[in-house]
A and B are shown apart, each in its own frame.
Chain A
Amino acid sequence: MSARLLEVRGLTVRFPLRSEGLLGSRRWFTAVDGVELGVAAGQSLGIVGESGCGKSTLARAILGLVEPAAGSIAWRGSSVRRGDAAGLQRMRRELQVVFQDPVGSLDPRMTIGESMAEALIALEGPQPRAMRDARVAATLQEVGLDPVLAVRYPHELSGGQCQRAAIARAVIARPAMLVCDEAVSALDVSVQAQIVNLLADLRERHGLALLFISHNLAVVRQLCDEVLVLYLGRVVERAPREALFAAPRHPYTRALLAAVPEPDPAARSAGRGLNEVQSELTAPPGPASAGCAFAARCPLADQRCRSASPTLAADGAGHLIACHRWRELPPRTSLRPASAP
């Protein structure tokens, strides 16, 4: 198959801000600003960024849960338009989602089995009870849960078990792609590792594509083939996994990676002082500012950065970077000298 599963072009999402005075003109906050991305069958794309960067809004727009102000979304080559119920339904049959809160994303009044059967019927239509039960049992087993848990309610399960159940519900109708919005962020680290492994298994076994949204860069490195870095709604860098983590180009990507505390006391001295970002993400600017969104925090920012917005450009080594001055940054072959492979 040559066509990509998902193709997003120029996607923009705006939210209204409180207008100033009764007759004041309406102001908008641009949460997602002209994002382009594509996911091929079996591919895993990571989307990273700080809170407020628009990563969840981007996911919700792709799922049809918020209305984009501009841009297009295509599923398997055909565009999914506003009001096109049949097209949306076609996409949703193959595009499922797992959210952050494992307990809150399951109906507390339904058993795990009922929740899964409901999803199956909604996506595939009615089918004989025995067949349904067999699908539920097989899917529970597939995600590492004992099929006897089908008769349990969400509150009787641990957080990790609930997240497995939410994944079971999402994959029971064999989707082609799973959107994971901070799907492992609320879990303890030992359970998080189990769920990350489960998602890797599902990819391997069924060629499941992933759109994996997370603030946890190490988890993204573990699961994703390609990574997209968002800053205030704009893509600032996009690169294959190894290229991004070994040689980040954009000053924001570098700062983000440098800020991650590594579980290694020996890296303590090496890690300190690498953080080039001095201030923090401030309140969203009202009207879109003319220059680079990162200029206010960027150690390299000059007059040009503040007046002209950089566009994504290829560096010839697999990266796409939206920065006027990335070439002036000293090369960083390894993020942390102490941990060279």
Chain B
Amino acid sequence: MRSTRGRADVGMPLLEITRLSVSFATPRGVVAAVREVSLEVRRGECLAVVGESGSGKSQLFLGSLGLLAASGRAQGTVRFEGRDLLGSDPAPLRDALGTRIAMVAQDPMNALTPHLTIGRQLGEVVLERGLLEAGQAQARALETLRAVRMPDPEGRLRQYPHELSGGQRQRVAIAMALMTGPDLLVADEPTTALDVTVQAQVLDVLREARDRGLALVLVTHDLGVVAGIADRVAVMYAGRIVECAPVRELFAAPAHPYTAALLASVPRLGAAQPRRLAGIEGQPPRPGDEPPGCSFAPRCPSVVARCRAERPGLRVVGERSVACHASLVEPGGGP
């Protein structure tokens, strides 16, 4: 199905998020979860969006794709191949979502319907959209199960979700997302519920899909997963992107003190062992509370007076960008 589409607009980002804010109405008032985030996803790349719980990383993409809870509200512009997804015309979002933009969630059990066979669920994805005939749909389902390296794909088509292991269910969930041959896959913590051995296999499947031209957005808190698969990384803190860089640069020389602290917090297997892990003192600001300056200033080891008074904007140099007055490296330059 992929081949039927034109590839004229190669230079244009596939997904372009501009100044997107997401807020929720709560009993305590309106709480901001995402604050004026701009981000682009390019064709065929894997972009990892990293952050701790409450950083807004999941809401950023739910908001971008019109999937917020009823109490949520998204403001800003989101363009997919230039078409406005959040504008007054619902057609662009309706056309793209579930067909050219697919999603995979963390919990592989809830993603599947318990009383339908795997073959039926996979088939419905293309049948409901009128993309294929019934006979072709089953052939496509088989082909997609093979693409996610499902053992015994023919047998799986007749099985129910409860007959599969957690890793196999997540493979089915990914296969379901790939049925329409999407251009963009947004995967939110796709391996967090899985054992490491199974995680390694699921990451291989995602890596292969990316290598075949799929753009992949990986929302995760796991820096090990990011290092293994991402091309670019955006780091979120308290609803904002604080740093965005190609994966090697980011890990080799983090520019934002938060990125550096996050990397230092991770215990490693293959490195000399520190007596203590670095950790980050204090807590992130509660959603809704925001200090006047940089959100990370109260916990930052490199804080200067200016950080508490003035919020740093995202400075872009070349492939890197960082929002910090006391940046550890000059964007664009080496460490």
Contact = CB atoms under 8 A, between A and B. Distances in A.
Interface residues of A, number: 52
Interface of B: 52-53, 151, 165-168, 195-201, 203, 221-228, 230, 247-248, 251-252, 261-263, 265-273, 276-281, 283
Contact of B196 (A160, A194, A260): A260
A193 B199 contact: no
Nearest to B266: A263
Nearest to A184: B267
26 contacts: A50-B197, A159-B53, A188-B52, A190-B265, A193-B266, A193-B267, A193-B277, A193-B278, A194-B280, A217-B196, A218-B267, A258-B200, A261-B203, A261-B225, A263-B223, A263-B268, A264-B227, A264-B270, A267-B227, A268-B227, A275-B201, A279-B151, A281-B195, A281-B198, A339-B270, A341-B271
A219 B262 CA distance: 15
B267 A222 contact: yes
Contacts of B273: 221-222
Name the residue in B53, B168, B265, B272 with the highest tally of chain A Cβ atoms < 10 Å from its Cβ. Answer: B265
A82 B94 CA distance: 63
Contact of A215 (B195, B251, B271): B195
Given A221-B267, A265-B247, A189 B223 contact: yes
Contacts, number: 142
A218 B227 contact: no
Nearest to B258: A190
A197 interface: yes
Contact of B222 (A215, A261, A339): A261
Contacts of A262: 224, 227-228, 268-270
A215 B248 CA distance: 27
Nearest to B200: A259
Interface string A26-63: 00000000000000000000000011000000000000
Name the residue in A158, A188, A268, A271 with the highest tally of chain B Cβ atoms < 10 Å from its Cβ. Answer: A188
A280 B226 CA distance: 23
Contacts of A266: 248, 251-252
A196 interface: yes
Interface string A277-304: 1011111000000000000000000000
B195 A190 contact: no
B224 A260 contact: yes
A280 B268 contact: no
A75 interface: no
A338 B270 contact: yes
A196 B274 CA distance: 12
A199 B298 CA distance: 25
Given A262-B269, A268-B228, A281-B165, A196 B199 contact: no
A197 B256 CA distance: 24
